[in-house]
Chain A
Amino acid sequence: MNKKLVLKLNGYILLFDAIAMILPVLVAVYYREKAGFAFLPVIVLCVALGLPLILSMKPKNKQLFAREGIVTVAVAWVMMSLVGSLPFFLSKEIPSFIDCFFETTSGFTTTGATILTNVEALSKCLLFWRSFTHWIGGMGVLMFVMAIAPMAGGTNMQLIRAESPGPKVEKLLPKANMTAKALYGIYIGLTVLEIVFLLAGKMPLFDAVTTAFGTAGTGGFGIKNDSLAGYSAYIQSVVTAFMLLFSVNFNIYFLIVARKFSAVWKNEELRVFFFVVIASVALIALNTFRLFDNIGGAVHHILFAVASIISTSGFATVDFNVWPDFSKTILVVLMFVGACAGSTGGGIKLSRILIMFKSLKREFSSLIHPRSVQTIRISGKKIDDETVKRVSSYMICYVLIFFTSLLIISLDNFGFETNFTAVVSTINNIGPGLAQVGPAGNFSNFSDLSKIVFSVVMICGRLELFPIMILLLPQTWKKY
């Protein structure tokens, strides 16, 4: 374990944190809010810790191996969540530190679950920071640092792999930093586009920016108590469209920019994604149309809810907690499915589910034809057995974490529906669940222990389980 290299890289992350916190300070200056002062000591702390780490750590071996890459990412995310929660705590607007930690973790992991009962009471600068964590966490911090600064270690693919979602992460361009730049370019471009569209709908600038951050990261922190219910249908539609856009694999945009449209059309995951969205909307509409005044309104709100859940954002326009069981169950299934690989969304990811179904199909057919040899293909490309195996172990790990945390959460005795959907919503980085944690509720009533468990589960979910698990493995910390 090359601890020096890990520390040095984390020094960069601290510095990045300090730079990121300048933005909410500017917001505080603009709105003349005292809460802005809470950021200053944190910025000083980040620089005071980060700079010495970067300067003093001179690792003998600068090569970043798989182990160091994974550990760096895991440590960075835990540290970021701790540091990022300090402004909430220092401003005294969220009194309990555990609550602050939960809120920030929920932000960085783009979950959007909140412990706040009255969001609107928070200062603007803290609201901004809260939404900004979504935007940072959406594409990944290490990826950002890589895009702008040449880091130690020649190859940084290990970092991208650990931070990007999906069963198999490949480069888009020959160099890791070119890939990071391209992805961030698309990310920033889409975010700006959304802000423009929202402003066109007469949304105030502050609301537009924070909502765009929440959509881009597929996070879902609203700045209003009723999330997006109070805005016009146009604004809600823009958010629906962008939630779907951000839950598509970013390689698609890259292919579009490169004018390889046939490859876009051939993308199996994309087609299945839209099929799932349309099918879910249709089924829910059949089940719930009596609740709405007219068909147009029904489709509008159902599409919003489906997009919000499958993209793992968690914005709400209506309280789907009052829908019939069948519709609610469809939404819970969608929570598990999640977005496409290589997007900013969470969940198990469609491509993993595709791989699982296809390997299941292969298993069945090999029972009938024991000697048959079959290749699993996605979008016409061969998926090697190593990837299939990793998807299976991912699922085992997923179930393991899921039930362990469910067991601990059930100590709070809030009823099965609440507990179950609370864990589903945190491990898949969605935000709202059902019953007490539904779109109208929040996580404030849970015990401190449960909140800590939720925070860890959120980071696990965002980093696709393995990095945090590896952090707990004793052999990771051995020298050889």
Chain B
Amino acid sequence: MNIIVVGCGKVGTTLVKELAAEKHNIVIVDIDAEKLDEVGNTLDVMCVEGRGEDVEVLIEADVSNCDILIAMMQSDELNLLTCLLAKKLGAKNTIARVRNPIYSNAINLIKDDLGLSMYINPERAAAGEISRLLRFPNAMQVETFAKGRVEIMKYEIPEGSVLSELKICQLRPKLKTTVFVCAVERAGEVFVPDGNFILRSGDIISFVAPIREANEFLKKVGSVSAKIKDVIILGGGKLTYYLTERLLDSGYRVKIIEINKKRCEELSELLPEAMIINGDATNNNLLHEEHIENADAVLSLTGVDEQNVLMSIYASKQAPEAKVVTKIKHFDFDDILRGMPIGSIVYPKYITADYVLRYVRVMQNSWESNMESLHRIVDDRVEALEFRIRQHNALVGITFQQLNIKKGTLVACITRNGKTFTPGGKDSIQVGDTVIIVTIQKGISKLEQILDGEAVEG
């Protein structure tokens, strides 16, 4: 597909990288020639220097032939304006990043008038992810599928757990659970395990389970901590606002530490139920004054990655029981971060890229087996995809034993008539099912592509 990405900041660049890996024809537009060069030299994309809201520039980027234009500039207004112009110039679909909470509420009113196909709010999306994390403090990452009926979670096997030295095929008889382990990270490597794979302590497993089952499973493996009540958020940006709004709704007690006095006043006006503290969160005296050691969760969400990492390390030390979440905006050193005691990591750039990727793949799709959602479970190496089977296709009615499925790809679970189960060799896919597959293959957009020999089209 022909895609134009306007604005190549961190999120834009991450997105372009993913789209280029899926072999789309990409044109990037930015005013900063240096940034363009940087992206253009490492990725196979065409660069156009200029402003996105400049009609000449859009025409140079061949907007009339583009399937999707994605506006990822700093300013919401410019993003919306660019999308409006692009639509008038013949772009088939437009996606805008809109971050200001004020617009977020208004956008549904004007979405159709602007011809906007979709808008993304990275902060709000990240807030959703963090609030899910707080519901399952033991999981490192939580995603939902099938309208919230199925969850996919990441969990690190602690020392001496029942899971260590256990074969995957023994999970079901031994723990009486239907959870399905779909990916294992060990020492920086990722495996999609088969039944004979032996788990070890220190492994980070990703598993798929129906919603109640997941909690049961965590209880059975002996790690369930008390429900989270008190949350300290360090940094009071937009993400904090969206998150706090959600958390307060769910009955958490939230304390926000923010250095900027004016922002504190704004927050206290917007979030009357939250406790807003004006001070420097990197000051450990202040953290102790606010009893960080008694908090159930500490979320480092300032705009500076280095600060977030350091505060999270400090928090995990001072409050070993607490759930720690770290926001990483810019850092590229995913490998190193994974080994640090900074709890769960949230990358708004990946979350945003996922949203758009999902849309692009659905766009590319024929209607009969539609991809409903996409999540990346191990940074960007393993993907979990959800498909809804609307019509008969090559897989329907054939048992999994007979299907020749690609290496590194698993059918994790099937939801049929409201019930979710993990399929065995004798099961098969039926029309009306919701199927979740987990794969290390990139660019799958149709369910048929999980079969061996089916090419993944670009």
Contact = CB atoms under 8 A, between A and B. Distances in A.
Contacts of B44: 154-157, 174-177
Interface in B38-61: 40-47
A174 B43 contact: no
Interface residues of A, number: 17
Contacts of B441: none
Interface residues of B, number: 14
* Interface secondary structure of A, over-half rule: loop
Interface string A158-190: 100000000000111111111000000000000
B25 interface: yes
B378 interface: no
Interface string B7-45: 000000000000010000111000001000000111111
Contacts of A384: 33
A399 interface: no
Contacts of A174: 2, 25-27, 44-46
A176 B47 CA distance: 12
Interface in A373-425: 384
B46 A154 contact: no
- The residue among B25, B27, B42 with the most chain A CB atoms within 10 A of its own CB is B42
A157 B20 CA distance: 14
A175 B383 CA distance: 26
Contact of A173 (B33, B40, B41, B46): B46
A478 to B, nearest CB: 21
A170 B41 CA distance: 11
Interface in B131-179: none
Nearest to A156: B44
B25 A173 contact: yes
Given A171-B47, A174-B2, A384-B33, A155 B42 contact: yes
A156 B20 CA distance: 13
- The residue among A66, A158, A175, A178 with the most chain B CB atoms within 10 A of its own CB is A175
A171 B2 CA distance: 15
Contacts of A176: 44
Nearest to B44: A155
A157 B27 contact: no
A63 B17 CA distance: 13
Contact of A154 (B2, B20, B40, B47): B20
A156 B43 CA distance: 9
Nearest to A154: B44
B437 to A, nearest CB: 26
A173 B26 CA distance: 9
Given A174-B2, A175-B25, A384-B33, A66 B41 contact: yes
A154 B25 contact: no
Nearest to B37: A386
Contact of B41 (A158, A177, A178): A158
Contacts of A156: 44
Nearest to B458: A175
B25 A155 contact: no
A64 to B, nearest CB: 9
A157 B39 CA distance: 11
Contacts of B27: 174
Nearest to A258: B62
Nearest to B25: A174
- The residue among A154, A156, A172, A178 with the most chain B CB atoms within 10 A of its own CB is A154
B271 to A, nearest CB: 44
A177 B44 CA distance: 9
A176 to B, nearest CB: 5
A46 B224 CA distance: 66
A177 B20 CA distance: 13
Given A154-B20, A170-B47, A384-B33, A178 B25 contact: yes
Contacts of A170: 46-47
A254 to B, nearest CB: 12
A63 B42 contact: yes
A176 B33 CA distance: 19
Nearest to A63: B42
A404 to B, nearest CB: 32
Contacts of A154: 20, 43-44
A158 B40 CA distance: 10
A405 to B, nearest CB: 32
Interface string A56-91: 000000010010000000000000000000000000
Contacts of A63: 42
Interface string B369-397: 00000000000000000000000000000
A68 to B, nearest CB: 12
A154 B21 CA distance: 9
- The residue among B26, B41, B42, B44 with the most chain A CB atoms within 10 A of its own CB is B44
B342 to A, nearest CB: 28
Nearest to A384: B33
B25 A157 contact: no
Contacts of B40: 157, 171
A235 B41 CA distance: 44
A172 B60 CA distance: 10
Contacts of B46: 170-175
Contacts of A157: 40-41, 44
A155 B47 contact: no
Contacts of A155: 41-44
Nearest to B66: A174
Interface in B181-200: none
A62 B449 CA distance: 26
A174 B27 CA distance: 6
Nearest to B34: A386
A346 B45 CA distance: 28
Contacts of B33: 384
B123 to A, nearest CB: 30
Nearest to A155: B44
A355 to B, nearest CB: 16
Contacts of B26: 174
Interface of A: 63, 66, 154-158, 170-178, 384
3 closest residue pairs by CB, A with B: A174-B25, A155-B44, A174-B46
16 contacts: A63-B42, A154-B44, A155-B43, A157-B44, A158-B41, A170-B46, A171-B46, A171-B47, A172-B46, A173-B25, A173-B46, A174-B26, A174-B44, A175-B44, A175-B46, A178-B25
Given A154-B20, A170-B47, 8 more contacts: A66-B41, A155-B41, A156-B44, A157-B40, A173-B46, A174-B27, A175-B44, A175-B46
